């Protein structure tokens, strides 16, 4: 006979509800991150409408001077057309008030007089809307935007809807920026002659895209994205398994940008100890800590007016993620131990072999930083997904290595090539490169399958451990406590985040063997 445990049931229910909310937010953020034009924004807004329950939706953005604003997107295409060209003053009491608030602001449309309302809000008032809820979309200091939701029922904006909307604002702001950038790229490409010296024509030149090898559809898709984004100043997020060539792609983007006159600065976030990476990125002043015998200029300053490639960004400690986000948003930093604010103009190309959506969902990567980096994502295919490129890649690596070693290049036999095409290449292009370098050293005139012994070894099958429900519950509680800095009670404590009383959480922690005061870092 099973005994009911009300405390455990309440905790499981709270965890399930929290997980559902997180999955919904993640799903909507992912959908928004894939939007590249105004037309494809419409179906995502319709999904959002189902969960928040608004009756009309509008996004407004300022012009370059930031004194006026206009409708960027309206969920009613007719309204979008009717309001096209309508200009409103930023200092109208609605737009500017919202920008100064960190929380959603509700405006009563019933009591608002027609002469004081912007045209688009007056239109909604005349359509029986009784309340407008406005929220700032903070992406960058320049060209701020405001989201307006309109309700016929003033009680339509529930606490759950408010929480969901707040979780989406960063990605929504980035989506707006992404659309504007895409439109600017299209306009930019049409307006500038192909011979413009500051933006190299996308040709396979030595400094262009020649380093990207591959004629397969998967790689041609990547190359097309690279050619599209390279001339702009948009940040790029490179995703894919380890060894797929993310640094090569980053180099191609930089070399075909207006910043190519300066070297791209590279940082491997996984290769630097956690206690040193802040100094590596942002620099430090002499005497700021033990061992700081001289001033150090960080990678951000070194990359000023150039490109900073942040490899393995998913390995960055959470406390550094917060500081990195601030630098990306404000374009300024302070060295460790310094008080001077230093302005930087840096294009960011980040890369990760982790599934950052999963990292965000499990609390290991900040959602706001992910949305800030995920402006123009490019996913690189694994070598097994582009096996048609293997002959060209193999010849390239053989020739390059032999030229470096001043050695006559051996021929790759057809049987060896077939042998290689059957191999799954878990280490991707990097593994292929190292395999062929070893084969070149072993072979004299011809590389045969005998010179590829590693490929004949059986691949280890990972043993998967299926966690019990109790283990999953324990892991979830630990993650929430870590995110709350070890706090159990209070507004920002783990109990509040889980939606249960502190006593219930403390009791459950004891039963799961979680000690108070554990290392939450």
Give the number of other CB atoms < 10 A from CB of residue 477. 19
Q: How many CA atoms lie within 13 A of 154 on its CB side?
A: 10
Residues 6+ apart with CB under 8 A from 151: 53, 54, 55, 129, 130, 131, 132, 133, 157
Q: What is the DSSP letter of 263?
A: P
User: What does the domain layout of the chain look like in residue ranges?
Assistant: 1-33+467-521, 35-185, 217-379, 383-456
Strand ranges inside 26-108, DSSP E: 56-62, 68-74, 88-89, 105-108
- Residue pair 299/277 in contact by the 8 Å Cβ criterion: no
Checking DSSP bridges between strand 88-89 and strand 68-74, what pairing results, if any?
antiparallel
The residues that bridge with 267 in the sheet, in sequence order, are 310
C-alpha dist (Å) from residue 435 to 392, 396, 398, 399, 409: 15, 13, 10, 14, 15
Nearest by Cα to 109 from 92, 89, 127, 84: 127
Three-state DSSP class for residue 238: strand
The residues that bridge with 133 in the sheet, in sequence order, are 106, 149
Residues 6+ apart with CB under 8 A from 370: 356, 357, 359, 360
CATH for 383-456 is: 1.10.8.60
Q: Does domain 35-185 have CATH number 3.30.450.40?
A: yes
pTM more than 0.75: no
Distance separating alpha carbons of residues 66 and 355, to the nearest angstrom = 37
Nearest by Cα to 413 from 436, 385, 430: 436
Q: Radius of gyration (Cα) for the chain, nearest Å?
A: 27
Q: Does domain 217-379 have CATH number 1.25.10.10?
A: no
Distance separating alpha carbons of residues 143 and 352, to the nearest angstrom = 29
- Residue pair 409/402 in contact by the 8 Å Cβ criterion: yes
Q: What is the DSSP letter of 450?
A: G
- List b or e across 190-210, with b for residues whose CB sees 16 or more CB atoms inside 10 angstroms: eeeeeeeeebbebeeeeebbe
Distance separating alpha carbons of residues 170 and 368, to the nearest angstrom = 6
Q: Which helix (H) or strand (E) holds 174?
A: helix 159-191
Please provide the DSSP assignment of 293-307 as one string.
-S-B--HHHHTTTEE
Please provide the DSSP assignment of 86-149 as one string.
--EES-SSSHHHHHT-SS-EEEETTTS-GGGS-HHHHHHHHTT--EEEEEEE-S-SSS-EEEEE
Residues 6+ apart with CB under 8 A from 100: none
Distance separating alpha carbons of residues 176 and 180, to the nearest angstrom = 6
Residues 6+ apart with CB under 8 A from 403: none
pLDDT digit of tens for each residue in the chain (521 aa)? 455 566 666 776 777 777 777 777 777 877 787 777 888 888 888 888 888 889 999 999 988 777 889 889 988 777 777 787 788 898 888 998 988 887 888 899 988 888 888 889 998 998 889 999 999 886 555 568 899 999 998 777 788 888 888 878 877 887 887 787 777 666 644 443 333 333 333 333 334 578 899 888 889 889 989 998 999 889 999 999 999 999 999 999 999 999 999 999 999 998 888 888 898 999 888 888 777 778 889 999 999 999 999 999 999 999 899 999 999 999 999 998 888 999 999 999 999 999 998 888 888 999 989 989 988 999 999 999 999 899 999 999 999 999 998 889 999 988 888 888 888 899 999 999 999 999 999 888 899 888 888 776 555 544 445 567 677 778 778 777 766 667 788 766 777 777 788 888 888 888 888 876 554 44
């Amino acid at each position: 006979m099973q005994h009911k445990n009300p405390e455990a049931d309440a905790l499981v229910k709270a965890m399930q509800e929290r997980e559902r909310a997180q999955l919904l937010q993640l799903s909507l953020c992912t959908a928004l991150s894939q939007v590249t034009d105004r037309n494809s924004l419409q179906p995502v807004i319709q999904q959002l409408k189902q969960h928040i329950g608004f009756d009309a939706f509008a996004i407004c953005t300022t012009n370059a001077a930031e004194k006026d604003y206009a409708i960027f997107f309206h969920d009613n295409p007719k309204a979008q057309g009717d309001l096209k060209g309508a200009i409103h003053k930023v200092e109208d009491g609605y737009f500017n008030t919202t920008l100064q608030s960190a929380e959603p602001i509700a405006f009563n449309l019933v009591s608002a007089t027609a002469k004081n309302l912007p045209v688009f809000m007056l239109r909604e008032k005349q359509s029986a809307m009784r309340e407008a809820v406005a929220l700032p979309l903070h992406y960058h200091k320049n060209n701020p935007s405001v989201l307006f939701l309109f309700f016929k029922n003033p009680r339509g904006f529930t606490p759950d809807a408010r929480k969901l909307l707040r979780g989406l604002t960063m990605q929504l702001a980035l989506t707006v920026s992404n659309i504007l950038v895409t439109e600017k790229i299209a306009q930019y490409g049409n307006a500038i002659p192909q011979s413009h010296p500051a933006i190299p024509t996308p040709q396979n030149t030595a400094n262009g895209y020649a380093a990207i090898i591959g004629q397969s559809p998967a790689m041609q898709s990547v190359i097309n994205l690279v050619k599209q984004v390279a001339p702009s100043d948009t940040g790029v997020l490179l995703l894919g398994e380890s060894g797929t060539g993310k640094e090569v792609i980053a180099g191609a983007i930089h070399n075909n940008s207006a910043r190519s006159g300066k070297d791209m600065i590279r940082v491997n976030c996984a290769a630097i100890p956690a206690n040193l990476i802040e100094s590596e990125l942002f620099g430090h002043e002499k005497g700021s800590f033990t061992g700081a015998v001289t001033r150090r200029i960080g990678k951000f300053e070194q990359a000023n007016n150039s490109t900073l490639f942040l490899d393995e960004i998913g390995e960055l400690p959470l406390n550094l993620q917060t500081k990195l986000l601030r630098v990306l948003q404000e374009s300024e930093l302070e060295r460790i131990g310094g008080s001077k604010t230093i302005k930087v103009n840096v294009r960011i190309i980040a890369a990760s072999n982790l599934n950052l959506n999963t990292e965000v969902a499990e609390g290991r990567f900040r959602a706001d930083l992910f949305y800030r980096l995920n402006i123009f994502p490019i996913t690189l295919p694994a070598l097994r997904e582009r096996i048609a490129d293997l002959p060209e890649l193999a010849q390239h690596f053989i020739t390059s290595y032999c030229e470096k070693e001043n050695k006559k290049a051996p021929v790759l036999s057809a049987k060896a090539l077939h042998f290689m095409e059957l191999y799954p290449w878990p280490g991707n292009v990097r593994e292929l490169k190292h395999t062929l370098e070893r084969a070149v050293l072993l072979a004299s005139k011809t590389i045969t399958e005998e010179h590829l012994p590693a490929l004949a070894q059986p691949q280890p099958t990972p043993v998967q451990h299926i966690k019990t429900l109790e283990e999953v519950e324990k892991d979830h509680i630990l993650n929430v406590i870590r995110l709350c800095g070890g706090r159990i009670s209070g507004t920002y404590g783990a109990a509040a985040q889980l939606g249960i009383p502190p006593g219930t959480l403390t009791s459950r922690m004891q039963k799961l063997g979680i000690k108070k005061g554990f290392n939450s870092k």
